[in-house]
Amino acid sequence: MGSHAEWRKIAKKQRRKRIRTFQAIERDKVMLTDFYIEQQELELKLLLEQITKQNDEENEKWMRAELIANTRWKRLLEEKERHKQKCLEQEAKLKLEWELEQKEKAMEEERIKAAQEALKIKQECFMNSLDKFLSGDSDEPPSELKVMHETRPDADICPFFSKTASCRFGDQCSRNHQYPGISKVLLGTNFYVHFGLSNANVNEYDTDIMLEYDENDTYKEFDDFFYDVLSEFEKFGRITQFKVCNNYEKHLRGNTYVEFYELRSAVAAYRSLHTRWYGGRQLSLQFCLINSWRSAICGLQLQRRCPKGRACNFLHVFRNPNNLFNGYNDDVQDKSRSSRSSRRSWRWSESPETDVLKRIVSSRSERSNNTTTATDKRRRRSRHSDDGDKHQRRRSPRRSDRR
């Protein structure tokens, strides 16, 4: 029996042990759950904290980027605005400049137009004065024709212009150029045109030497020109000097000077021939003062010793055919002769150019029984001496298309 009680004792002990163990397990279970939850909560909290921190960082980064972008945008806008302003200013400036330019252009055009108008009126007045002088009986030209035009009245007289009526500087010359209202000498500027004169390679002495030979084509050309022009000018009165330049310099090249015995003849010739056409070129005549042919013509050129050569500012002239007007007629410039006038021949009315010319021609033919022109004389001489040989002159083909 003792053993049963002992077994029971052990059994109870074992049961208690089992209960204790179970209880302990249960207790552990509870404790483990609490710990797990605690752990979980802690982890969650940590995670939340981490997320919040990350969010804050991201937010801050974004804010910074936003700020930078905003600043950039603002700057860009400002830049754009500045550029626009600049463009507008530039545009306004250009517009203003254009307007100013247009205004100046209009003013300049107005000025040119007014100047042209004034010149036209002046020219018309001048032509009317010429006609008045030609139509009247008075030997004395009207006072308005005696007015001398001066380019620089305060400056010294230009030594070249005063001698040759031509200056390489034109009216831009710093010295004074004096233009007479009218005069006995007419100048056709650059009137005679020849390839030898416009060709830079041709030496002026060669041109001169070539002209010595009648057979030479060059001389024949000048010969034709000489008689064509002389006969045309002679219709208006007696000619006392006729010089054609063979200078190379442009302001003297081909210049043709015709001096009349009477002032009236020069005026009539100017009135009729100025702006007329010869050989396809329009003739531009001007009145000029040549006080002494000896001073105007380069003396050394005649001896072919001019040291200035092409650069010479004095007249180098062609040798006229048949020795016509070949000297200096300075002694002919006797002023008392100008008082002699053929009033009957010059009694013209204020009629058109052609009428004036017709009257002159008819008046000259009236006198033709008594007087002979230099051309007539020369031509007669030429006929007698050459008698139809190579020097026989034919009428120039240029004459027909002159007008």
Which positions lie near Zn ion, rule CB under 5 A?
158, 161, 167, 173, 175, 298, 301, 306, 308, 312
Shortest distance in whole angstroms from residue 193 CB to Zn ion: 21
Contacts of 246 (CB under 8 A, 6+ apart): 196, 197, 204, 207, 208, 211, 254, 316, 317, 318
Nearest to Zn ion of 158, 229 (CB atom) = 158
3-state secondary structure of 18: helix
Q: Do 313 and 250 touch, CB atoms closer than 8 A?
A: no
Shortest distance in whole angstroms from residue 206 CB to Zn ion: 15
The secondary structure element, H or E, covering residue 181 is none
Nearest to Zn ion of 229, 306 (CB atom) = 306
Nearest to Zn ion of 159, 327 (CB atom) = 159
Shortest distance in whole angstroms from residue 170 CB to Zn ion: 8
Q: How far apart are CA 361 and CA 349, in angstroms?
A: 15
Read off the tokens for 24.
């302990």
Nearest to Zn ion of 79, 171 (CB atom) = 171
Nearest to Zn ion of 119, 155 (CB atom) = 155
Shortest distance in whole angstroms from residue 146 CB to Zn ion: 23
Torsion angle, CA of 350/353/356/361, rounded to 10 degrees? 180
Nearest to Zn ion of 272, 301 (CB atom) = 301
Q: Do 236 and 224 touch, CB atoms closer than 8 A?
A: no
Read off the tokens for 385.
């001496």
Shortest distance in whole angstroms from residue 185 CB to Zn ion: 18
Q: How far apart are CA 125 and CA 333, in angstroms?
A: 29
For residue 112, the number of C-alpha atoms closer than 13 Å in the C-beta half-sphere is 6
Shortest distance in whole angstroms from residue 328 CB to Zn ion: 15
Contacts of 288 (CB under 8 A, 6+ apart): 165, 179, 180, 183, 185, 186, 187, 257
Nearest to Zn ion of 197, 306 (CB atom) = 306
Nearest to Zn ion of 152, 379 (CB atom) = 152
Shortest distance in whole angstroms from residue 313 CB to Zn ion: 8
Shortest distance in whole angstroms from residue 150 CB to Zn ion: 12
Residue whose entry in the numeric block shows the structure tokens 């006969």: 231
Q: Which residues pair with 259 in a beta bridge?
A: 185, 241
Instruction: Please give the order of strands across the beta sheet that includes 239-244.
Output: 239-244, 256-260, 185-188, 285-288
- Residue 34, judged by CB atoms within 10 A of its CB (0-12, 13-18, 19+), counts as exposed
Q: How far apart are CA 8 and CA 225, in angstroms?
A: 176
